[in-house]
Amino acid sequence: MAFVLIHGAGFGANCWDELIPHLEAEALAVDLPGRGRRAEVDLGSVTLADCADAVREDVEAKDLRDVVLVGHSFAGVTVPRVLNLIPDRIRHVVLVSAVVPADGSRVLDQIDPAVRNLVEQSITGGVYHQSREGAAAMLCNDMDEATAAATLDRLADDSAALLSETVDLSGYGRPIPQTYVHLTRDQCYVEELQQRSIALLRPEVIDLDTGHMAMISAPEKLAAVLNSLHGPSK
C-alpha cells in the first residue's frame, strides 16, 4: 500500500510534511502545477486536467499500486479525474474536508458566501493570492501561534481559473471505496458545505475535531485514520 497525497488550493506538497512521518506506508506528496517542483508552470495556464495529469505522472513514475489517494480541500475536484486516469492503481479514496460541488458546476458555487467574497477579492490577473490575515482566519483557528506561522509560511499562489472551471465528478462513480474525513472545527470549508459533499458521495464518514489544515494541526489524528486503511488489497 502507498499513500498519494494531493494538496488543496493555495498550498504545495509541503503542507503534508508534519503528517508523513506518522504514516505506516510509503507516501508520495504531489506538487500540482505552478508550485513546488512544478513552480515553472504558468499558473494562468493550469487546468483541472493538468492537475490530474500531474498526479498520474508522479504515481506512474514510481509505479505505485494499491494506492490510498488522499485529497484535501480543493483536491476534491482533482481526485475524480485521477480515478478516471489510473483506476487500476487506486484501492481507496480519502477526502479530507474536500470540496465536492455538484457535477458540472464550479468550485466557486460550492463555497460559503463569506469565504467566496474573500476568495474573489484575492484574485488578480488570473492568480489567486491569499493574504496571511485572511488565511489565518480560515485555516488556523485550531493552531497555536508557532504552528499557524509555519502554516502561513507555506502559502502559495494558485490558478484562479481552477475555481471557475466546470468540474467532472464521473470518477467518483467507480467502484472504489471512499472515506470522507469530516473536520468539525473547519472555518474554511464549513459544516454545511462538508455535509453537502458527503450527501453527494455517500461515503464512509469519520469525524476529526480539527480545523481545515488537519495534516498540520493534528497530524497524528489524521495519520491514525489513514493507517487504519491497512488490509488486503483490492
Q: How many domains, the chain?
A: 1
pLDDT attached to residue 233: 46
At residue 210, the 3 state secondary structure works out as coil
Neighbouring CB atoms inside 10 A of 1's CB total 20
**Structural domain includes residue 233:** no
**What Å distances lie between residue 184 and 7, 31, 90, 192, 193, CA to CA?**
19, 27, 27, 11, 12
- The grid coordinates listed for 170 are 464521473
Q: What is the pLDDT along the chain (234 residues), one digit of tens a residue?
A: 999 999 999 999 999 999 999 999 999 999 999 999 999 998 888 999 999 999 999 999 999 999 999 999 999 999 999 999 999 999 999 999 999 988 888 777 766 677 677 777 667 677 878 889 989 999 999 999 999 999 999 999 888 878 778 899 999 999 999 999 999 999 999 999 999 999 999 999 999 999 999 999 999 999 999 999 865 544
**Structural domain includes residue 234:** no
> If you ran DSSP here, which 8-state letter would residue 54 be given?
H
Range of the domain at 215: 2-227
Amino acid letter at 107? V
HSE value, Cβ hemisphere, 13 Å, CA-based, for 111? 19
**Structural domain includes residue 182:** yes
pLDDT attached to residue 231: 56
Looking at beta carbons, which pairs linking 18-22 to residues 24 or more positions away fall under 8 Å? 18/215, 18/216, 18/219, 19/215, 19/216, 19/219, 19/222, 19/223, 21/219, 22/219, 22/220, 22/223, 22/224, 22/227
Report the share of the chain in percent with pLDDT over 90. Answer: 76
Round to whole Å and give the CA distance between 138 and 145.
Answer: 14
Amino acid letter at 207? D
pLDDT attached to residue 160: 80
Neighbouring CB atoms inside 10 A of 228's CB total 11
Cell 474525513: give the residue.
181
Give 91-139 as a DSSP string: EEEEEES---PPTTSBGGGGS-HHHHHHHHHTEETTEE---HHHHHHHH
**Structural domain includes residue 17:** yes
Whichever domain contains 7, its CATH number is: 3.40.50.1820
Torsion of CA 159, 161, 164, 170, to 10 degrees: -80
pLDDT attached to residue 234: 43
**Structural domain includes residue 14:** yes
**What Å distances lie between residue 110 and 38, 40, 82, 167, 225, CA to CA?**
27, 29, 21, 11, 26
Closest CA to 80 of 71, 91, 67: 71
